[in-house]
Amino acid sequence: MIDSIITNYLNANKRLVIPGFGAFIRKDLGNVVLVEFLKKDDGVLTSLVGEKYSVSEEQARGIVDQFIERVKAEVDGTGKSVVDGLGVVYKETSGVYEIEYRPGIVRAKQAKVADVPRPAIVPASPAIQASAKPGESAVHHQHRSQSNPAHHQSDTVDIAAGKSERRAVTTPAMTDAGTKTGAITGAISGATTPQHDAAQAKPRSHNTLVTCH
């Protein structure tokens, strides 16, 4: 921000107007006070900010406005606002802004947000790693196997040869299902209907050719 610009200017000059807020005035004894009714823009601070940051006059005015908003917000929120190297701005019970001159004071730095620890990655078991498909992570393979317990395929990876062999594994669930399916198929193929039985029981008629002389 522009705290250092204000402080450095007042070290060599007696007055600096903060447009729309007030003026910092250095007394003969070196003390700095804030006079709120001297707030008309004389262009000095805007010019200093423009030179410091190489910005236009309009942009410099915006930076000054941000400084004023910060000071007012901090005073309203915490009762005080620190201007680096100059002092602490506060508000009297009458509502008038004042400054407690404290040369060399520094604004407290914001605490850094602690790094959030990342969750530990648990390695897959050797059996899962051995059965994973080429190019497939062991975690993905484990999830694929668990999502379909009735049937899964086991892949043996030959690392030396760079090949993979897929071998189907039959589980008890598959055996039971196959037994039931076979029983039902046999029952259907062996079953007969009454119409079918009657057709088989009906004797075939034979035509006899009689020759008359």
Place of tokens 């071998």: 167
Q: Locate the domains of the chain by residue range.
A: 3-101, 125-172
Model pTM? 0.52
- Angstrom distances, CA of residue 35 to CA of 29, 55, 77: 17, 28, 22
Element of type H or E holding 15 = strand 15-18
Question: Counting beta carbons within 10 angstroms of the beta carbon of residue 26, is it exposed (0 to 12), middle (13 to 18) or buried (19 or more)?
Answer: middle
Contact in structure between 20 and 33 (CB atoms under 8 Å)? no
How far apart, in whole angstroms, are the C-alpha atoms of residue 196 and residue 90?
108
Q: What is the pLDDT of residues 20-61, one digit of tens each?
A: 999 999 998 889 999 999 999 999 999 999 999 999 999 999
Structure confidence at residue 163 (pLDDT):
47
Q: For residue 46, which of 63, 34, 29, 69 has the smallest C-alpha distance?
A: 63
| The pair of three-digit structure tokens given for residue 89, joined into one six-digit string | 């701005």
Contact in structure between 49 and 5 (CB atoms under 8 Å)? yes
Q: What is the pLDDT of residues 59-91, one digit of tens each?
A: 999 999 999 999 999 999 999 999 999 999 999
How far apart, in whole angstroms, are the C-alpha atoms of residue 87 and residue 104?
8
